[in-house]
Structure 1
Amino acid sequence: MSVHSSANIKRITTHILQEMKSRGEKISMLTAYDFSMAKIVDSAGIDIILVGDSASNVMAGHETTLPITLDQMIYHATSVVRAVSRAFVVVDIPFGSYQGNSSEALRSAIRIMKESGAHAIKVEGGAEIKESVVRILSAGVPVMGHLGLTPQSIYKFGTYSVRAKEESEAEKLIEDAKILEECGCFAIVLEKIPASLAKKVAETVSIPVIGIGAGGDVDGQVLVMHDMLGITQEFKPRFLRQYADLQSVMMDAFANYIKDVKNRDFPNERESY
């Protein structure tokens, strides 16, 4: 990497993310929800850590992201922020904490920023949440947008299948991306949309576009940590590349521990006081 690359940056900021897009350096982003995992992923050199409402699924075992509360998101965000020294930390505002009205949206965003020490918030939607986005930004809180498959709207869509395949929905998505940029969002996540459309969005807006299931012609990529590490094995969409099989590693470790305890092999003399 060049001397200007993000590898040499002590702290990632919105300005640095914008510079990365300008020079064509891809942005790496992963989720994290707790201190220990966040410390590891930050040390590895990730650019953005998303404290995602996917915690509702992988940490709490819910079927959707809808049940997680603002207090729970702040708890996870606080744990992550304590671990991080380099990455830019973005926190999802959970379902029901910003859609109702812009005053509630602002209160939720301020609580996240004040109580967790995070660097930005993320909201799902376009034109329909414009007022909330503007209100949050007017208070000086950086906002990341999220378009395409928006999991908080799962019951509206009724499916997790690819979004914006129809021309009308694709046109609305491009318009929504422009609206989010004009409002002042520093970046947009595009989830599960055709790669050609994602490329068009990334070329249309000047802010960084991060994809998940949106092809390789965007400015960066995000995955859920538990999925890419193979801790969760049930969720294997086409866009997921599994970089490890930690479930197998962990199961082996647990099985060996249980065996050693049962056989009175653990602890041995060296492991006793």
Structure 2
Amino acid sequence: MYPIIKRSLFRIPTLARLYSAQPLKKKATTTILDIQSKRSKDIPITMTTAYDSITASWCHEAQSDMILVGDSLAMTSLGYASTTDLPFDEFKYHVKSVCRVPGPSLIVVDMPFGSFESSIPFGISNAIELMKLDSNVTSLKVEVGLHTKDKYTPKLIGELCARGIPVMGHIGLTPQRAHSLGGFKVQGNKSVEETRELLETAKLLQDLGCWSILMECVPHKVATLITSKLDVPTIGIGAGNGTNGQVLVISDMLGMQGKSVPKFVKKYSNLNEIAINGIANYTKEVMEKSFPETASHTFKIKDELWEEIEKNVA
């Protein structure tokens, strides 16, 4: 029986805890209002992608303002040839993995290709499902084409925002629409009209309720202009430092894949080389029988017990 601890004559007795395990204490989570406040104070905003509990823990510990669970994981982590190949159920598995890690970073989740294009009700249903995967999912990110060509997605975003689902709009180079864009190319650099349409699309998304706009592969001057015309935070990737914040794919910035990265990426580490060297050293030491070391990597048994074992077993 557990001992009873009486705190007061008027309180119900409670059981003493006889175990050492403690529940994880979640850190205060960054909110959308915090991000908007940073914009108003002209404090740069940081965002990094994460695809599992390990990369999520790195982002939290590094105090990244936001984590993006992007469909880029299809190509950077799962070996698919394109983001459009990623199954929705497989994507949700990774969202839940990221969300299990406690930490301060605000979590934004992509709506992958195929999860919203069929119809408005279908898109709303999947958006709600993503939001319900975990309470740490704070916002969705939706790729949008130029408003002169894409008449569908703005309607969906309006419906989502009207239902209280926070949406970050994604304009410029939208990988899910790469085929219709003629490939992975810079956007907003061909004509005055294209730049105007990009700006008008950003303003439309803001008016529909998007709390933030992400711009990918847009000329620095164009992204700076659009940022100056909006009242919501802008996040850039390949858009220069005139936006309110930056996002990079974690496998690119940490050199996890050992291949060339886009022009706009700066490598802050080379984990691919570090990992290969580490595994090669391990293999070498196993072959040489220098690992495991008896003194450092093995467990002991009492001499008298071992003598008994030798007599009765060996």
The partner residue of 1:67 within 85, 98, 106 is 85
Q: 1:27 aligns with which of 38, 45, 64?
A: 45
Aligned twin of 2:164: 140
Out of 225, 241, 252, the position equivalent to 2:277 is 252
Q: Which amino acid aligns with 1:187?
A: S
**Cα distance in structure 1, aligned partners of 2:276 and 2:178:** 33
2:202–2:226: 8 Å Cα contact kept in structure 1?
yes
Corresponding position: 1:37 with 2:62: no
From 179, 186, 203, the equivalent of 1:178 is: 203
Q: Distance in 1 between matches of 2:82 and 2:43?
A: 33
Tell me the amino acid that sits aligned with residue 98 of structure 1. Answer: F
Structure-1 separation of matches of 2:272 and 2:290 = 24
Distance 2:275 2:31 in 1: 35
- Contact 1:230/1:246 (CA < 8 Å) preserved in 2? yes
Measured in 1, the distance between the counterparts of 2:34 and 2:206 equals 17
Alignment match, 2:138 = 119
- Match of 2:107, SS state, is strand
Structure 2 unaligned spans of 5+: 1-26, 300-314
**Equivalent residue, structure 1, for 2:173:** 149
How many equivalent residue pairs? Answer: 265
1:264 Cα deviation after fit: 1.1
Q: Where do residues 258-273 of structure 1 align in structure 2 (5 Å cutoff)? A: 258-269=283-294, 270-273=296-299
Distance 1:114 1:66 in 2: 23
Q: Which whole-Å CA distance do the structure 1 matches of 2:74 and 2:171 have between them?
A: 19
Decide whether the 8 Å contact of 1:181 with 1:205 is kept in 2: yes
Q: Is structure 2 residue 155 aligned with structure 1 residue 131? A: yes
Deviations, residues 63-83 of structure 1 (Å, cap 9, x unaligned): 211011221221111111111
Aligned to 1:239: 264
SS at 2:226's partner residue?
helix
Give the Å deviation of 1:85.
2.0
Cα distance in structure 2, aligned partners of 1:76 and 1:145: 21
Candidates 163, 177, 187, aligned match of 1:163: 187
Q: Secondary structure at the match of 2:297?
A: coil
Maintained 8 Å contact 1:70/1:108: no
Q: Using CA pairs below 8 Å that are at least 6 residues apart, which structure has the higher relative contact order?
A: 1
| 8 Å Cα contact 2:258-2:273 kept in structure 1 | no
Per the TM alignment, residue 267 of structure 1 is displaced from its structure 2 partner at its CA by: 1.0
Per-residue deviation at 1:44? 1.0
* Aligned residues of 1:70 and 1:94 also touching (Cα < 8 A): yes
Q: Could you say what secondary structure the match of 1:161 adopts?
A: coil
- Percent identical pairs in the alignment equals 35
TM-score normalised by L of structure 1: 0.94
- Measured after TM superposition, the shift of residue 164 of structure 1 is 1.2
Give the match for residue 88 of structure 1: 106
Q: Aligned residue for 2:35? A: 17
Conservation of the 8 A alpha-carbon contact between 1:49 and 1:88: yes
Q: Structure 1 stretches of 5 or more lacking a match?
A: 1-8
Partner of 1:99: 117
CA–CA separation in structure 1 for the residues paired with 2:140 and 2:275: 33
Measured in 2, the distance between the counterparts of 1:84 and 1:138 equals 29
Deviation of 1:158 after TM superposition, in Å, equals: 2.4
The alpha-carbon deviation at position 146 of structure 1 amounts to 0.3
